[in-house]
Amino acid sequence: MHMRFVFVHGTGVRRKQHDRLFGLVKERLAARFPESEITSYYWGDDHGATLAFSGASVPGLRSGRASRADSLATAPPLDLEVSEWQLLLTDPLCELRLLAEIAADDGGLGMPGVRASGLEVADRMAALPRRPAADDELAELLKSTSLNDAYEPALDAVSHSEEFEEACAAASDQATAREVAAATGRAVVAQLLADSTESALCTGGERDRLVDIVTSRLGGTGRGRVGRVGSVLLRLAMRLTTQPALDHWRGPITTGSVPALGDILRYQARGGPLRDSLTQHVTALEAPTVVLGHSLGGIALFDVLALASIRQEPLHNVRLLVTVGSQAPFLHELGALTGLPPGASLPPSFPRWLNIYDRKDLLAYQAKPVFAQGAQVTDHEVASRQPFPVCHSAYWKLDDVYDRIAKEIEALG
């Protein structure tokens, strides 16, 4: 059978990458179907996303190239505070861990037979009520910030940690014990927030008051940065999370993601011109046609074929749809697939459909469980042995992909 193949690329692909990718696909298909015509539909330039105002909507984006060190040097105090807490939310025990190491290096294990002052902090921690009384300011604050359910687990997580035990044991004098109490108060509140990121309703002022209350009940004073530990962690926090640093990276990250994420968003909102152009391209072909869509290209092809079938104007020359690394099944589950109403079945005139996926590919989904009523749907799993996101493009180098396409075409015969 003389066949015609049309390859439709996926999101984020532009001319140079398309030409390289299509060259690979064409070479592999030609080896199996030497009599067939193999073409590509490139849409990246005409229908791909771009930033119309050069990223003017991105907060902190600068046209200049100020160094990251310069950005950090100008960080205001508020940004430094946010940075510290970002670090604590990532690792609530980081201050205690570093404090234990510093105290131990200073010879903080104390005199033999003399009880370390830090163990008093451990005793107070063990004596803290896991459920504060209803008239306790702490209970009221935990309730108003939606953190009450996470309080007991946070206390247990910190008090049972090796970091807390080692910091208490290493604090031989009262000054170091007060540092341990302050670090523990911050650790408990950080653990609270880290465990309740989606449900927490907590301002910076409420967070600081929580730290004050817990720290004072452990024998510490104030909520300031733990002295010797603070200088080390602050430098790390500044490098990782200050707003100037975020501004420094946000521009490249945002603008760099435009081709990939932007193409998807633009297609969902303004996909009509791409579908119309793709429909014209496919209907102009007379020979029995196999259409191959990668990622977003597969979604567009699905929509074109489904909409044509619903209008009772099916593209009869398309004998086989092949989607590779496709999100179409997931979008249909969400009710967000343009070509098919939520919950609807495949139209009877929809062509045979082969859906190829790699379970390591986070952008690939199974079609058969979603379109189970469509006998013309087949899922085929492959494995590139690559992690995401590399596996999302690795399909086209797998013999298994082309062998399965060949098998499906043979079944059409």
| CATH architecture, range 4-47+271-412 | 3-Layer(aba) Sandwich (3.40)
Quick one: average pLDDT of 395-412?
Answer: 94
Looking at the chain, the domain(s) classified CATH 3.40.50.1820 span 4-47+271-412
Residue 66's pLDDT band (cuts 50, 70, 90): very low
Phi, psi of 379 (to 5 degrees): -95, 145
Rounded Cα–Cα distance for residues 167 and 125 (Å): 13
Closest C-alpha to 401, from 371, 364, 349, 346:
364
Closest C-alpha among 307, 400, 308 to residue 354: 400
Highest mean pLDDT among 210-224, 259-273, 330-344: 330-344
Which residue has better confidence, 64 or 299?
Answer: 299
Give the residue with greater pLDDT, 399 vs 197.
399
pLDDT classification of 401: cutoffs 50, 70, 90:
very high
Q: Which of 191, 194, 193, 189 is nearest to 218 (CA)?
A: 189
Tokens of 60: 């902190």
Is the confidence at residue 157, as pLDDT, over 90? yes
In the DSSP assignment, the letter for residue 352 is E
Average pLDDT, the chain: 83
| Dist CA 96 CA 94 (whole Å) | 6
Tens digit of pLDDT for each residue in 221-252? 755 545 555 555 655 554 444 445 445 444 55
Site of tokens 């702490």: 138
Residue 126 CA, distance from chain mean position: 38
pLDDT tens string 162-173: 999 999 998 888
**Per the structure block, which two tokens stand in for 327?**
């999100």
pLDDT of residue 203: 86
What one-letter code names the amino acid at 350? F
Confidence of residue 71 (pLDDT cuts 50, 70, 90): very low
The contacts of residue 281 (CB under 8 Å, 6+ apart) are 6, 41
Model's pTM, two decimal places?
Answer: 0.65
